[in-house]
Amino acid sequence: MKFVVEKEIFEKLPTACFGVVVAKGIDNGKSYPTVDALLDESIGAAAAHFEGKKVKEEPEILPYREAFRALGINPNKFMCSIEALFTRIAKGKGMPHITPIVDLGNAVSLKYTLPMGAHDLSAGSDDICVRLAREGDTFLPFGSTDEESPDAGEVVYAVGSQARTRRWTWRQSEHGKIEADSSYIFFPIDGFTDFNKEQVLAAREELLQHVKEIFGCEAIVGFVDAEHPEMDVTL
């Protein structure tokens, strides 16, 4: 099984890069006070950092808004996941605890101001790709039983014809959603080589350390960019 970013993505976003952590053997059904503390700490720091500010105007967020525009996505209508998280926190709405591994990803995402996904790999062996949506692709929104079709040419994370995200990092699908019994998980961290590559690598290393120390599981890391557009994610 591979993680592949297709050439067409780098034609639109030449400096896009992806830090990767893959972990297997996670027990996501237990309680982990350490994870709760990490998430609460990140939420508190984010609330303090963005107090009285417009999230969409912050330097850490602007490259994602510019990238959305380059992809033909209106960032005012469809916010990048990290902007959406900070906007929620800045409005005093906090952030719910979901499952330990999702909470850990959110804690690291908030700490480094980076969009980070989490996808369950247990269901199959097809490659997970970042590519342009095509005819026949389907997307099942969170909490829904009705599938929809991504727009033609829309950037998606996909496994086969299942779009796992829409509009790059705007929204994830029910397919590949992390559940209490999820144990084999792929974390992509989306960034740019000319803006926040060091943060991407630092977030990757911190996430790796946490999944090993807290969950006691096996894990690998990788880095994908225009020069190295794929990696093996099999564990």
Q: DSSP of 12-56, one letter per residue?
A: H-TTEEEEEEEEES--TTS--HHHHHHHHHHHHHHHHHHTTS-GG
Between CA 124 and CA 112 the distance in angstroms is: 31
Between CA 185 and CA 176 the distance in angstroms is: 9
What pLDDT, on a 0 to 100 scale, did the predictor assign at position 125?
75
pTM of the entire predicted model:
0.96
Strands 171-172 and 16-24: unpaired
What pLDDT, on a 0 to 100 scale, did the predictor assign at position 82?
96
CB within 8 Å of 159: residues ≥ 6 apart: 124, 126, 127, 128, 129, 175, 176
Report residues of the chain scoring pLDDT below 50: none
Q: Which fold has domain 2-232?
A: Phenylalanyl-tRNA Synthetase; Chain B, domain 3 (3.50.40)
